[in-house]
């Protein structure tokens, strides 16, 4: 068994990095070989928990020929740098979203790495959620005929900290980027969104005004074939992490609904069918998706295997976000490219 | 149009009698000709509202040859008497449930009226509910294959008055009788229940102890073909009038669920999917059933037409109730006949 | 009783006119006195069914002082003319939507009738639907805090005839007009939509291309206070008449969902929880709304009573539709006035 | 960390034994030290997979002082023997249900082991299911007031093999035993069932006739305090593993519903709200319960800790099953004890 394990180095030990560490540790196909973070104490502590090497310099992982995969979960601004290096060292790369907040840098990187024929998986976990992913399968089977509308609702339970928001790139690049990518996932292979309209509001929390960011945002996209997509986001949601997808076609409709903390229904003298709050946030809601994502990563040593989301998907999602931001100012239906 | 209207006399102007008056008044096929009740004031008042004759003696209706149908909604103890007279006068009869509380009297009546080839519809309204009735249609279409289990839940929002309870005949003859009849409705034409087990409890309201009646009752029936039926009743239900039927077959299951006051769902920081209370009681819950029941009654002038429930169904429901009561004492699975 | 009945004249005996005739005939407060249509045969036939006068000239109704209310359900192009006349003759008016397809004509009419202090109810039936209306009540009670988003899905089971479509004014003035009005219904008294973006597609039925109309349309509105509203329409829907409203607030969410043909759930070896198709179209889906609407109309003799929707609501809905149509061409977020 | 791990020996490597092996292997608190089965090849193969010792004689585990816990998942007839030995060797014991098919043997064992003050957890996994367990918590919080009715539906997707059935002890001891235990879980600490009525049918599969067993069974229990419990079982279910609990109280109702393969809803021209089949069987449906059960086991080294289900619960469930079997023959409401 040992021989066939995939040796992996994990960069970044924040919330999502630690989740990956835990999942990699339990995964049958991976051997978590080393971890890196800018916080030395974290390295020390977690290298014991996961019985792996803590490295103080990423270069150690790049140079180690036994290491097959680099998983990048560091802060966004370092993604492209680590990705480029990893590609040069012929590593398979998993990179968390977004690739970068700046489309030009992404384009430059794209050119740079092209010649290496890179193998990159992007962390768009929602494509791996059994329900959201199931919609795609049903769509392909023709269960609703031709796709006509995609409606995505995505609401976070509570706004992140001011510190986080300041560096986040705003609601479109930080939050709606997931929905842009998921919407593209449902389009035909030959179809692509070619116009985008977006608007935002801020009714409650003045922090967002200060940051010229939005607490509420709505986006309408249209594809070359005429598919209309509506995305609605909110940075707060009193009942939990609201995550829904509706696909409407000429022969039917598919809905991927919310996940609850439990499935108990309560009836009393005031109301009926009361259910629990929605699962609180992404680690709980998308735990299966994160696991399935690693399953895909484990197959990337196979030359012909393609992950559900790659570098180009990361690039286009930022392109859509940039155009959406422009639309909030121009108040126009912006063309994509 | 006038010529083809069916002239009807209504006996009894209590809660259910008044509901029938209202429905008959609006019905396209009926002409509510006269009303009778032991309360003269009610007659006077309602004969104006419904623009019909108030009669002080039922015999007037029996002797009036223009009257086609007698609808009996008087107190239970008078049902058989009026029914017998109506049959003798060649009237079509609609009789509210139960026929009587005493099986022997029913049997005697049965013999007496046989020679008149009577046309009698019994007020088992649930057979006419679009949902409960729809189950029967789906069953006949083979949607769940062979029927194996019938599970009926029936709970009243609150116990009736002590006065009512005293004369009611107890939970089996007054309340579960509807469920006995509905269960029989789902059996094959050639099948019939042949054993019954019943038990009751009284955890809360001491009135029921005083009356040797039950607030909670459960019944298990088995048919000749092996179909198992479970009925569970309660005289109180904090969330409204709980009315559910589940049919289980070797190829599937059908559920006829509850009806709510409205269909709004509320989500807040404490719970999700909150719906309104159930419709409060039978007049609201079964309004369509009562209307459909009259549609059937309007067809009974047709010689060959058979209503969904007739005299024999009324008789067997009381037979099952009597055996259930015996079972609560004998603590045995009682044979039917 | 007779004296207090409200005498009403009904103009127009098409599908919706006949539905009003039926409802008026059964309504306790109205006396359907006379009916008018351009089709003389319809007048003749239906005046018998509803036992009322068939008139060949609308002027007869206007001049008849015993007539209190004129219900206008004729073709759209005649609405303003009949409405203006009725107002001049001091009649209470009920007018079906839309007031007219041309905003300028509506504005002109507005000026003209102002001096008569007119009493006009507009046929925006959805405001009267127990579920959609219940959302407004819950909103006022503060159940979801401050309103932030309104999401309305509205899909017809199948496109209307080519003849109908040609005169309809297009999807925004004919269909989405209901949703514009319903969305406004949920806004604060002091709030109003001040920008609109709209787009349409046509993926399937070439008829819509020929008519420069859309089969699918999406609209985003924003109010002065920052409320975002998303409306999505389709002229076809394989599973019935899809009618849903979702209100999102800072403290919760309210959903008014679809109505089904029945409430039976089917489980089999292929799937679970199968329910029936949605009610097919507006007469079935909104029957209670139409009834409640007439209840409101019956109260308009009371000087101070205001119906849920009036002339100004009819005017603004067409204003929004016109701006939406402009937006589909300008591809901009259009300002409302 | 190593020092605090609990060393465990696993006896039995059938389907459920292998599931325990997998869970123990991944569990943070356990060290799967050795495995035993009568099939030597299984031992050999799985001792490699789980990197543990394969032992050919159980005595090795008993005598090994480093081993804290014995998990018994062997065939039923060996449970009491291994349990007794384990207790004598001062081991903590986890024993799969049922303890034994013979109540007398259980009683004898009970006497025998009493003096050792044994620490035994019984494998009634349903008590650990987040939903079923959540009902108990809600009940304790008073969410439905006083408990009045317990209604449990439990249906297997398909009958087991003839070989399995022959040794199973019949539907009451093999299948309904879970429901007996779960029902007892919801009773007050001071309450206990004191009467049981049961009946069975066999409509389809003649195998059950040959074995004098039932394919369908229904049971009614009543507790000292008057709580009524209805259990309905089926050995086949076309739509999956049907597992539902309904608790009815004087102030409300709680429902723990089914788990589906996914949460997608499909709408098409034939029906709406179609959901996927139920999860197929216990390993999938109760995976969280099995994990939570081990969490409890990991706490049993703590002298005062009591698991949710112990030896006495195992004993009473067989007592109820025996009385139920007697009732199917006596056709009486049998007293317990």
Q: What is the pLDDT of residue C67?
A: 97
- Give the strand order in the sheet containing B216-223: B334-335, B193-201, B216-223, B228-234, B147-155, B242-249, B252-256, C264-268
- Cβ count within 10 A of residue A27: 19
Tell me which residue in B134, B252, B265 faces C268 most closely, judged by beta carbons. Answer: B252
Decide if pLDDT at C109 tops 70. Answer: yes
Q: Which residues of B touch D252 (CB under 8 A)?
A: 238-239
Percent of chain B with pLDDT over 70: 99
Cβ-Cβ contacts under 8 Å for A255 (sequence gap 6 or more): A244, A245, A246, A247, D264, D265, D267
pLDDT score, position C337: 80
- Give the model's pLDDT for residue C2: 39
pLDDT tens digits along C51-102: 999 999 999 999 999 999 999 999 999 999 999 999 999 999 999 999 999 9
Are A149 and C232 inside 8 Å of each other by CB? yes
At residue B2 the predicted structure's pLDDT band, cuts being 50, 70 and 90, is very low
- Summarised one tens digit per residue, pLDDT across range B235-291 is 999 999 999 999 999 999 999 999 999 999 999 999 999 999 999 899 999 999 999
CB B241, CB B252: distance < 8 Å: no
Residue of chain A with shortest Cα separation from C236: A250
pLDDT tens per residue, range A54-80: 999 999 999 999 999 999 999 999 999
Strands D264-268 and B120-122, how do they pair? unpaired
Q: Is pLDDT at B294 greater than 50 in this prediction? A: yes
Residue pairs spanning A and B at CB distance below 8 A: 54
pLDDT beyond 60 at D3:
no
Query: Is D223 in contact with D113 (CB distance < 8 Å)?
Result: no
Q: What does each C-alpha distance from C5 to B292, C29, C51 come to in angstroms?
A: 29, 5, 16
- Nearest CA of chain C to the CA of A62: how many Å? 48
Q: pLDDT-based confidence at D205, cuts 50/70/90? A: confident
What the block records as the tokens of B105 is 């009297």
How much is the pLDDT for D204?
80
User: Nearest C-alpha of chain D: how many angstroms from C262?
Assistant: 11
In this predicted structure, the answer to whether residue A319 has a pLDDT above a threshold of 60 is yes
Q: Among candidates D201, D197, D217, which has minimal Cα distance to B333?
A: D197
Q: In angstroms, rounded to a whole number, what is the distance separating the alpha carbons of residues C230 and A216?
A: 13
Which helix (H) or strand (E) element contains residue C107? helix C103-114
> Whose CA is closest to A85, among A52, A63, A102?
A63
Å from B265 to nearest chain A CA?
9
Neighbours of C302 (CB within 10 A): 9
Q: Residue D29 corresponds to which tokens in the numbers above?
A: 């608190």
| Interface touch A148/C232, C-beta < 8 Å | no
List chain C residues with CB under 8 Å of A151. 153, 232
Average pLDDT over residues A100-116: 97
For residue A258, the chain B residues in CB contact (below 8 A) are 272
Nearest-neighbour CA in chain C from D279: distance (Å): 11
User: What's the whole-number mean pLDDT along residues C217-241?
Assistant: 97
Residues 6 or more apart whose CB falls under 8 angstroms from that of D38 comprise D74
Contact B272 A271 (CB under 8 A): no
CA A242-A247-A251 angle, to 5 degrees, is 150
The better pLDDT of the pair B108, D27 is held by B108
* Chains with 3 or more CB pairs under 8 A to chain A: B, C, D
Q: What is the arithmetic mean of pLDDT over D84-104?
A: 97
Hey, of D239, D272, D285, which one would you mutate to test binding to chain C, going by the most C CBs within 10 A of its CB? D272
Chain C residues with CB-CB distance to D267 below 8 A: 238-239
Query: CA A27, CA D108: separation in Å to the nearest integer?
Result: 46
Contacts 24+ apart (CB under 8 A), A134-139: A134/A256, A134/D262, A134/D264, A135/A186, A135/A245, A135/A247, A135/A254, A135/A256, A135/D264, A136/A185, A136/A186, A138/A254, A138/D264, A138/D266, A139/A186, A139/A247, A139/A249, A139/A254
Per cent of chain C over pLDDT 70 is 99
Mean pLDDT of A155-179: 96
The pLDDT assigned to A2 comes to 39
What residue of A is the nearest CA neighbor of C202?
A: A226
What is the reported pTM?
A: 0.95
Q: Which of A64-78, B10-24, C200-214 bottoms out in mean pLDDT, i.e. has the lowest?
A: C200-214
Mean model confidence pLDDT for chain D: 95
Task: Tell me the pLDDT tens digit for each residue of B111-133.
Answer: 999 999 999 999 999 999 999 99
Contacts of D254 in chain A (CB under 8 A): 264-267
Task: Output the pLDDT for position B3.
Answer: 45
Cβ separation D232–B202 shorter than 8 A: no
Among B145, B151, B203, select the one facing D226 at the smallest CB separation: B203
Q: Provide residues of C within 8 Å CB-CB of chain D.
A: 238-240, 258, 260, 265-278
pLDDT for residue C135 is more than 80: yes
pLDDT tier for residue D2 given thresholds of 50, 70 and 90:
very low
By the 8 A CB rule, do A300 and A92 touch?
A: yes
Q: What is the pLDDT of residues B33-90, one digit of tens each?
A: 999 999 999 999 999 999 999 999 999 999 999 999 999 999 999 999 999 999 999 9
pLDDT in tens, A276-318: 999 989 999 999 999 999 999 999 998 889 999 999 999 999 9
Relative to beta strand B252-256, strand B242-249 is antiparallel
C69-72 vs C6-11, strand pairing mode: parallel
CA atoms within 13 A on the CB side of A56: 3
Q: Are the beta carbons of C254 and B267 separated by less than 8 Å?
A: yes
Residue of C nearest to B26 (CA): C26
Give residue-wise pLDDT tens across range D232-246.
Answer: 999 999 999 999 999
Nearest to B223, CA basis, from B189, B198, B256, B176: B189
What is the residue-averaged pLDDT of chain B? 95
Distance from the B263 Cα atom to the nearest Cα atom in chain A, whole angstroms: 11
Two tokens at A337? Answer: 């490219």
Counting DSSP H helices and E strands in chain C, the numbers are 13, 14
In terms of Cβ atoms closer than 10 Å to its own Cβ (0-12, 13-18, 19+), residue C162 is exposed
Question: Across-strand partners of C200?
Answer: C217
pLDDT at C206: 87
If one counts every other C-beta atom within 10 angstroms of the C-beta of residue A288, the result is 15
D26 contacts A264? CB cut-off 8 A: no
**Cβ–Cβ of A228/C199 closer than 8 Å?**
yes
Q: What value does the mean pLDDT take over residues D175-188? A: 98
Contact A234 C228 (CB under 8 A): no
Smallest Cα distance from C150 to chain B, Å: 14
CB A214 within 8 A of CB A170: yes
**A329 contact residues in C (CB cutoff 8 A):** none
**Interchain pair C230, A218: CB under 8 A:** yes
Contact D227 B199 (CB under 8 A): no
Q: Which residue of D has its CA nearest to B229?
A: D218
pLDDT in tens, D31-70: 999 999 999 999 999 999 999 999 999 999 999 999 999 9
The verdict on a CB contact (< 8 Å) between A252 and D267 is yes
Q: pLDDT for B118-176, tens place per residue? A: 999 999 999 999 999 999 999 999 999 999 999 999 999 999 999 999 999 999 999 99
Subunits next to C (3 or more Cβ pairs <8 Å) are A, B, D
- Choose from A237, A264, A269, A272 for mutation: most chain B CBs within 10 A: A272
Q: CB distance B275–A278 less than 8 Å?
A: no
């Amino acid at each position: 068994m040992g021989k066939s394990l995939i040796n992996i180095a994990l960069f970044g030990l924040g919330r999502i990095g630690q989740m990956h560490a835990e999942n990699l540790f339990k995964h049958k196909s991976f051997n978590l070989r080393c971890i890196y973070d800018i916080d030395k104490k974290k390295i020390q502590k977690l290298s014991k928990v996961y019985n792996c090497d803590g490295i103080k310099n990423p270069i150690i992982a790049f140079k180690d020929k036994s290491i097959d995969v680099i998983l990048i979960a560091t802060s966004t601004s370092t993604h492209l740098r680590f990705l480029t290096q990893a590609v040069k060292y012929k590593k398979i790369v998993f990179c968390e979203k977004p690739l970068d907040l700046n489309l030009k840098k992404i384009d430059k990187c794209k050119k740079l790495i092209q010649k290496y024929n890179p193998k990159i998986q992007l962390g768009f976990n929602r494509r791996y959620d059994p329900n959201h992913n199931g919609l795609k399968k049903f769509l392909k089977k023709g269960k609703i005929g031709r796709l006509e509308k995609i409606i995505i609702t995505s609401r976070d339970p509570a706004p992140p900290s001011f510190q986080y928001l300041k560096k986040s790139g705003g609601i479109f690049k930080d939050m709606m980027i997931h929905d842009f990518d998921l919407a593209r996932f449902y389009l035909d292979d030959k179809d692509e969104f070619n116009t985008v309209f977006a608007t935002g509001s801020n009714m409650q929390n003045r922090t967002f005004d200060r940051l010229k960011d939005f607490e509420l945002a709505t986006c309408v996209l249209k594809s070359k074939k005429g598919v209309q997509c509506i995305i609605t986001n909110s940075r707060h949601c009193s009942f939990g992490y609201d995550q829904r997808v509706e696909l409407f076609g000429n022969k039917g409709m598919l809905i991927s609904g919310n996940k609850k903390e439990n499935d108990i229904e309560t009836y009393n003298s005031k109301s009926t069918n009361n259910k629990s709050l929605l699962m609180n946030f992404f680690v709980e809601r998308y735990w299966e998706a994160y696991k399935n994502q690693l399953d895909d990563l484990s197959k990337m040593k196979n030359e012909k295997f393609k992950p559900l989301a790659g570098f180009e998907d990361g690039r286009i999602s930022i392109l859509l976000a940039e155009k959406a931001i422009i639309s909030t100012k121009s108040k126009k239906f912006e063309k994509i490219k």
